[in-house]
Amino acid sequence: MTDDTQAQPVRRPDGEESPLWIGGLLALMVVLVVIGAVFVAPTQAYHGPWITVLGVIATLGIFSILYKENPLFRFFEHIYIGLATAFGIYFLWNDFMMAHWWQPMLPKMASNPAGQGQWWLIFTLLIGGLFFTVYFAKITWMNRFIIGVLMGWGAGYAFSAFMSLIAPQLTASFRPPVSHESMVAVGMTKENNFPWHGLYWHPWLLISLIVLLCVMAYFFFSVEHRSGLIKHPAIAGRYFLMITLGAIFGTTVMSRFTLLIGRLDFLIHAVKDLLAAIHH
């Protein structure tokens, strides 16, 4: 008598891709490389029909995620990440390291007119190499030095940027939002006839102060929010926060729709251009 379990067909584990997908996507990658190397690179026709076709294929491949998770989406996702990484490396070398490290480090010559002979810059390469000690178990502790320096520099730079950007805004927030000179300039009042003599009591400033105090009351946890003196402003502050977060979320959604509309507009114009090229 035979074993029933041996007679059943062997199934692939869930989530494992079919070899047809792997072979097909690899063949597609080869085709894309050939198109880029043979048709695009020699002519530099970055706005030619081949670029439009590749853009349409890549866009539709990314949009396939709207149906379900599939190998085609992951293929173009990996292409996008690879291109972004390659572009980042090229940008880092060509626009930063070449001009601020490689050329100044070499002596001045015909092939390097920007050379300054600053040979000591080679030590920055050794310092940067400390990042890669994480791949070696015996010296992995050395990357802590460069990470500590980088985090300290980043924190100091962020604090400096914060103070240079936010501090003037905080200072300006204590000034009246509407001045006598600005009202006269737009013709809303005459030289000696300003409707609000106390500039700090302008209605818009009062609204700003009320919202600020209510939001601060919501985050004031040193006193329980039982008394109406702090309970009601705290409730109002929570609503103000929800309105602000809703506006931020709405802006995020609008930016996503802007990207979607841009891609759809590209597809529409691409199809029109391709049909026109076929007819001619």
User: In the prediction, which pLDDT does 3 show?
Assistant: 52
pLDDT for 16 equals: 59
Given a cut of 60, is residue 149 above it in pLDDT? Answer: yes
Distance CA 280, CA 277 (A): 5
Burial class (CB in 10 A: 0-12, 13-18, 19+), 101: middle
Classify residue 198 by its DSSP letter: S
Mean pLDDT, to the nearest integer, of 255-271? 91
For every residue of 134-153, DSSP letters joined together read GGSTTTGGGHHHHHHHHHHH
Burial of 133 (0-12, 13-18, 19+ CB in 10 A): middle
How far is CA 227 from each of CA 149, 169, 232, 237, rounded to the nearest angstrom? 49, 33, 8, 15
Three-state secondary-structure class, residue 48:
coil
Residue with tokens 């000179």: 181
End-to-end CA distance of the chain: 72
Express each pLDDT in 45-86 by its tens digit.
455 677 788 888 888 888 988 888 888 888 888 888 888 898
pTM of this structure: 0.55
The string of pLDDT tens digits covering residues 1-33 is: 455 555 554 455 555 566 777 777 778 777 777
Three-state SS for 67? coil
Res 113 pLDDT > 90: no
